[in-house]
């Protein structure tokens, strides 16, 4: 789906912080068909756009500190990064980096929710964000894993204006996030038995593919690793978790419409 005007409050961009931008370009190019285009200006610091049929859909940037993990991060579109950053702080989140201008492209900050899951806020200037979403090779879903689901629900609905539905036993304990009529993400609870020993709270980014199993096999050929095996989600589609050669975790998703022979997923794919 071509994006002309990102919906305020919804995910608008996917960015990989990695220890090897060139390797990431080869891996994701082989997996999703992306073309890596590095900004050669010294002030860009190696920032590399990932293009799908000439359209920007994601980016990769070098990690700038030894302790910085290789990871994918989503950006949320906002009208005023300063205002929303302060709201994040007031509603129990933390601010890792105060709002800063990125040339004339936009303004952004780096924040966390109350359980420490990192994301960014993007106030568009000349660059609005991803030119494609919810189609093969593009971001299609974001999923929060957290131990504090109640706190997360209160935080995101207040700080970003999201609507939350589900989360009870009838829905398998899975919460779905929605804004302006579009369902774009979900939330699951990190099991209690993993408290203190499991992964930190985090956002997992999903990218749409034509065939999950083929994509998993291709990712492994390219040096990636399996995060969780492919599984069918009845009435929704098929998903699998992967990580790239540097350890950046993500997931791939084939919607049920693809599996049944259709080729056009509707906006707001719903794995979960």
Residue 40 has what pLDDT? 74
pLDDT in tens, 47-81: 999 999 999 999 999 998 878 899 999 999 999 99
- The predicted model gives 84-92 an average pLDDT of 98
Report the topology of domain 139-259: 2,3-Dihydroxybiphenyl 1,2-Dioxygenase; domain 1 (3.10.180)
Is the confidence at residue 249, as pLDDT, over 90? yes
Q: Does 11-124 carry CATH code 3.10.180.10?
A: yes
Q: How confident is the model at residue 211 (pLDDT cuts 50, 70, 90)?
A: very high
- The predicted model gives 68-97 an average pLDDT of 97
- The predicted model gives 109-116 an average pLDDT of 98
Contact (Cβ atoms closer than 8 angstroms) between residue 164 and residue 113: no
DSSP letters along the chain, please? -B-SSPPTTSEEEEEEEES-HHHHHHHHHHHH--EEEE--SGGGTT-EEEEETTEEEEEEEE--STTPPPEEEEEEE-S-HHHHHHHHHHTT-EEEEEEEEETTTEEEEEEE-TT--EEEEEEESS--S-SB-SSTTSEEEEEEEES-HHHHHHHHHHHS--EEEE-SGGGTT-EEEEETTEEEEEEEEPPGGGTTTSPPSEEEEEEE-S-HHHHHHHHHHTT-EEEEEEEEETTTEEEEEEE-TT--EEEEEEEHHHHTT---PPSS----
Instruction: List CB contacts of 37: < 8 A, sequence separation 6 or more.
Output: 48, 49, 50, 51
Is the confidence at residue 169, as pLDDT, over 60? no
Is the confidence at residue 270, as pLDDT, over 50? no
Q: What percent of the chain has a predicted confidence (pLDDT) above 90? A: 78
Contact (Cβ atoms closer than 8 angstroms) between residue 14 and residue 58: yes
pLDDT in tens, 13-54: 999 999 999 999 999 999 999 999 988 777 767 899 999 999
Q: How confident is the model at residue 9 (pLDDT cuts 50, 70, 90)?
A: very high
Same CATH topology for 11-124 and 139-259: the answer is yes
Residue 271 has what pLDDT? 54
Q: Where are the domains of the chain?
A: 11-124, 139-259
Count the neighbouring beta carbons within 10 Å of the beta carbon of residue 191: 9
Q: How confident is the model at residue 196 (pLDDT cuts 50, 70, 90)?
A: low
Work out the mean pLDDT of the chain and round it to a whole number.
Answer: 91
How would you list the strands of the sheet with 249-255, edge to edge? 163-166, 175-179, 182-189, 139-146, 202-208, 249-255, 237-243, 225-233
């Amino acid at each position: 789906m071509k994006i002309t005007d990102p919906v305020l409050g919804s995910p608008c961009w996917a960015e990989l912080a990695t220890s090897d931008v060139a390797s990431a370009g080869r891996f994701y190019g082989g997996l999703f068909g992306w073309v890596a285009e590095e900004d050669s200006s010294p002030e860009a610091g190696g920032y590399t756009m990932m293009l799908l049929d000439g359209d920007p859909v994601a980016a990769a940037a070098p990690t700038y500190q030894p302790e910085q993990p290789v990871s994918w991060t989503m950006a949320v579109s906002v009208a005023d990064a300063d205002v929303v950053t302060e709201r994040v702080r007031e509603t129990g989140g933390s601010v890792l980096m105060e709002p800063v201008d990125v040339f004339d492209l936009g303004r952004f900050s780096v924040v966390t929710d109350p359980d420490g899951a990192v994301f960014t806020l993007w106030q568009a200037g000349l660059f609005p964000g991803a030119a494609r979403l919810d189609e093969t090779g593009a971001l299609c879903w974001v999923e929060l894993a957290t131990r504090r689901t109640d706190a997360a629900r209160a935080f995101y609905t207040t700080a970003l204006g999201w609507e939350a539905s589900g989360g009870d036993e009838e829905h398998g304990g899975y919460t779905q996030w929605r804004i302006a009529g579009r369902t774009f993400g979900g939330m699951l609870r990190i099991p209690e038995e993993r408290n203190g020993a499991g992964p930190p709270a985090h956002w997992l980014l999903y990218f749409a593919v034509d065939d999950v199993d083929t994509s998993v096999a291709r990712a492994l050929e390219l040096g990636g690793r399996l995060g969780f095996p492919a599984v069918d989600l009845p009435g929704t589609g098929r998903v699998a978790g992967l990580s790239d050669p540097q350890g950046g975790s993500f997931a791939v998703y084939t919607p049920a419409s693809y599996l049944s022979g259709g080729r056009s997923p509707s906006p707001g794919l719903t794995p979960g």
